[in-house]
Amino acid sequence: MISSDLILRSLTIDDLSAILELDQACFGGLWTMEGYQRELDSPNSELLGLFSPLSSIKLLGMGCFWSIVDEAHITILAIHPQYHRQGLGQALLYALLKTSGDRGLERATLEVRASNLAAISLYQKFGFKTAGLRRRYYQDNGEDALILWLSELQYPQFQKTLDSWHTTICKQLSQFSWQLVD
């Protein structure tokens, strides 16, 4: 079986059309071109993308976080619907948390739809804990959001955990013929 390379890198202005296509496929147009442009231009934002040279879809997944004081506020984690349940979300979340730690951030937080059990399971697998609830947070349907937190990104144990996740993620990706290129 031949593996397809999976490339993880920071997104740039050249990726803007692919970013908008993925946003539309995953969220139905959550953010505008101007919104993504601001993210790409901001030194406090990190926007990462997953690419595969063999895929007809240019951008397979993306994740974004804002650096606010010593916290990573994860604002987006999106995998193209054609590539769900192949480990790409885990790879992207891993990369966001590793980048957060590399930036010296202490904690990570995010909001997730209370009904999105697959996402909640993923975040819990990475150690996120529920810290609260934002009632009627989502404007499209008034759904509640869970507030999740992960602490201790700068502790030595967290680096060991990251290394363990990397090994586990690479094994899972290989089951779907993906090979994460470092």
Which residues have a catalytic role annotated? 111, 123
Would you state the torsion angle of the CA atoms of residues 120, 122, 127, 133, taken in this order, to the nearest 10 degrees? Answer: -10
Give the count of beta carbons closer than 10 Å to the beta carbon of residue 138: 14
Give the count of beta carbons closer than 10 Å to the beta carbon of residue 28: 8
Cα 134 to Cα 35: distance, rounded to the nearest angstrom: 23
Cα 178 to Cα 180: distance, rounded to the nearest angstrom: 6
Under 8 Å between Cβ of 13 and 40: yes
Cα 87 to Cα 170: distance, rounded to the nearest angstrom: 9
**DSSP classification of residue 96:** H
